[in-house]
Amino acid sequence: MREDSEQFKEDKVPEDLPLETSGFSPLRRFRGRCKDVRKDTREGQRGTFDVGVFEFIDLEVIESVTPYPFPIATIEIRLSGRTETAWDAFAQSLKRALGEAATTSMLGGKMQEWAMLPSPLRRPRPKMVKQADGNEVEQEVWSAEDEPAWQVVSVEGAAQAAEDLGAHILDVADGKTEKALYEALLGDAKIRSNPSIVTQITDRKLVSGLIESGALSRDTEGILHKA
């Protein structure tokens, strides 16, 4: 064998990569850019199951249970259609960050902050159960208790997008009656793409909320004016 192929050169130091193999990341809070989002199918004791896999680069570690000096990370969350699961906790946090119409693909390429935060997770837990004969035996009973679960805290550009949409609504509202405003907003593609705002319109709560916040006022003739 050639000696120069067996020795490391000073300018060719191999990169350290994470060696975490437990299936759980030591990270508890971080900022990073989402490089990839995908679904993987795994084999388990009870058959196959799907996992959401999120790959991050440009990592800024905020909190970790052990030192994590790496610029990349992979976070995996088991997919589920049920409430009170890790996936439900993540999904609800994504909607809070990006709106009711949020999708996981919207995370791609953006800097964002994630954290392990308390959320009700339903799991089988040991509990002493009294039987008909009066004896107590330990059984597994499904119940929900707050446990840490991955949640999206913030996403690059989301706050500005929400602020821009709010300013757009006020501009449309200025000089209109409440009825005319709702008709205009329901015909607006920007608004229709946001189910949360559409719900506020159909429930007739949008204007009252904006008036209560001081963003809008209504004159004696029922005309709306932005502050």
pLDDT in tens, 120-172: 888 776 777 777 887 887 777 777 788 899 999 999 988 777 778 888 999 99
Distance CA 75, CA 29 (A): 12
Instruction: Name the more confident of 145 and 30.
Output: 30
Distances (CA, A) of 115 to 17, 68, 132: 22, 15, 45
Pair 79, 87: CB distance under 8 Å:
yes
**Banded model confidence at residue 11, pLDDT cuts 50, 70, 90:** low
**Banded model confidence at residue 1, pLDDT cuts 50, 70, 90:** very low
Distance CA 67, CA 118 (A): 22
**Banded model confidence at residue 18, pLDDT cuts 50, 70, 90:** low
**22, pLDDT greater than 50:** no
Element (H, E) at 197: helix 195-202
Of 54, 32, 159, the residue nearest 97 (C-alpha): 159
Question: Mind listing the pLDDT tens digit for each residue in 86-107?
Answer: 999 999 998 888 876 678 988 9
Report the half-sphere exposure of 160 (CA within 13 A, side-chain side): 3
Report the half-sphere exposure of 166 (CA within 13 A, side-chain side): 14
Residue type, 44: G
Rounded to a whole number of angstroms, the distance between the first and last alpha carbons of the chain is 79
